[in-house]
Chain A
């Protein structure tokens, strides 16, 4: 099958370019008012890293509470706030902007041969809006938190909760506009600013994935914004929209919420899939298998993703006819996702596979995302869903997709393009150790939760029967290992900024326009306009050869 090759070892001596985007101007003002997509990507990266650790602290509290069956560390109200703020911080202020706003921002112009995004000022504005929104979220947390769960279900959120619902909703509403701006910028840039010869079917699959995710950002985000405004109106002015006592319908809230929030899963995962496509082909040193199938499957996921939302609502009281329709369509989403997994696997066949850190993360992604996706089919099945929904099975399922999939893809991408972003290589040994810790820690955390859910342990309670303690202890132990796995990259990546080996323009011998410019790139990305003359992923094989 594939030919296993050891790591890529950069033996050539390179020197850092004299001028690049990082040293163009060192002043704080030059960063805060920058219109350079690469600098804005770095600003986003620093911001979301902060919120990742805030969300991580909340997760730690949840796992520590669940170490023992009694609710002895956090009161039930505090526990409700801890898991709510964990979800809010991780989803709205880390996962949604993670790959698009950092790697997407940094790479899309370079991948298509442009010198920036179409609207650089809107790009900077999106970061400021995101920071303002995130500050609202943070303020809500510091001044008492919110306890509704990240889903804000009505009428709990509109009538009964006495916590900071409106403040949190305002934060998410504002941050949503940042997401719309980013998506809009990507769509216009990909349509209008491609280099000469860079046709649609010569675009890297990373760009296709971001294009599909951008469609969701632009078309879906306004719906969550309107929904949250309606929650605030009902909470503030008692307008009857969701509360049955006022003539509203609580299930309407769930329809509107999940119309955005289910596709939002694909806002998160599609860019991650783009990362994996790039990394698998680079570290197999081989043309990607089924380019068009992967490209179109991204668009198919974006479209199908909008048609399946009510599978979150099978036990909420929707009609059985609607449930049948949504169940059927939900099964269809598995097809484009499976196309990607099969094509990545087929790409490895007869490739020269190299086991650098990004490839370890990519393998982790493929395995864990597959488990996450397949357990999603359990939940799409009407009968089984009634037993499993609102249990730890759900928690495990979406963490396999969101953490096992998306966070691993984010780390994969950060490692893969770190040499491009900083001009220096990260140290391979601690990076591999970190990838291993993340994989082991993740599985130890969440695999027991599948069993707990199957046994009937409900989510969102701070106490549980003693017979479930062993599995919960395993889960908390896994979370500790996972935390170390996440902290390690912080240390060695910062270390590498000064002491890492100089990478040179293309340390992984990858194809792609971003690797043809210096590392770090100049402010305008290319000294000369590139002209694309061949397909992407051209590693020298003949057409049709696998």
Chain B
């Protein structure tokens, strides 16, 4: 089944070239996160309704999702990482989607009364 090779064992092929973003980019993202936090606080004190349905929670969740995306892309360097890393991150989000979607098949169709 095998032959043998005299060389030293292979090491994991670390993708050692990390693209480090500029200080300006980090400051920009940090600023965006602060604005997001401010928006969250502001939105929490507003009574946002459309057709009698409160939109406070969806708005807070949308802001939080945007902030998390910025952190993952820039501060965790996923934007400049390999395709494998990106697939791994997308898999996590996809699995979260499975949890939410299939749970909603119950919550949205349950006889609440």
Contact = CB atoms under 8 A, between A and B. Distances in A.
Contacts of A433: none
Contacts of B106: 251, 255, 310, 318-319, 322
A223 B96 CA distance: 9
Given A197-B2, A529-B6, 8 more contacts: A195-B10, A252-B103, A255-B103, A256-B99, A307-B102, A319-B111, A530-B2, A532-B1
B105 interface: yes
Sorting the interface of chain B by its residue count into under 10, 10 to 19, 20 to 34 or 35 or more gives: 20 to 34
Contacts of A306: 95, 98
Given A307-B102, A325-B102, A192 B13 contact: yes
Given A321-B109, A511-B1, A513-B2, A529 B102 contact: no
Contacts of B6: 528-529
Interface of A: 113-115, 118, 188-189, 191-193, 195-197, 219-220, 223, 251-252, 255-256, 259, 306-307, 309-310, 317-322, 325-326, 511-513, 516, 524, 526, 528-534, 536, 538
B105 A319 contact: yes
B12 A319 contact: no
Given A192-B13, A325-B102, A533 B5 contact: no
Contact of A538 (B1, B10, B13, B105): B1
Interface in B1-33: 1-13
Interface of B: 1-13, 84, 91-92, 95, 98-99, 102-103, 105-106, 109-111
B92 A219 contact: yes
A517 to B, nearest CB: 10
Contact of A533 (B3, B7, B11): B3
A319 B109 contact: yes
A325 B109 CA distance: 12
A544 B12 CA distance: 35
Contact of A193 (B7, B10, B92, B105): B10
A516 B2 contact: yes
A322 B101 CA distance: 11
A216 B71 CA distance: 25
Contacts of B4: 526, 528-531
Contact of A114 (B10, B99, B111): B10
Contact of A118 (B5, B12, B102): B12
24 contacts: A114-B9, A189-B12, A192-B13, A193-B10, A193-B12, A196-B5, A196-B10, A252-B103, A255-B106, A307-B98, A310-B106, A318-B106, A319-B105, A319-B110, A321-B105, A321-B109, A322-B102, A325-B105, A513-B1, A526-B4, A528-B5, A530-B2, A532-B1, A534-B1
A188 B105 CA distance: 35
A156 to B, nearest CB: 20
B48 to A, nearest CB: 20
B7 A529 contact: yes
B1 A529 contact: no
A259 B9 CA distance: 40
A213 to B, nearest CB: 15
Nearest to A195: B10
Contacts of B5: 196, 528-531
Contact of B109 (A322, A326, A533, A538): A322
B10 A529 contact: yes
A188 B9 contact: no
Nearest to B9: A115
Nearest to A198: B2
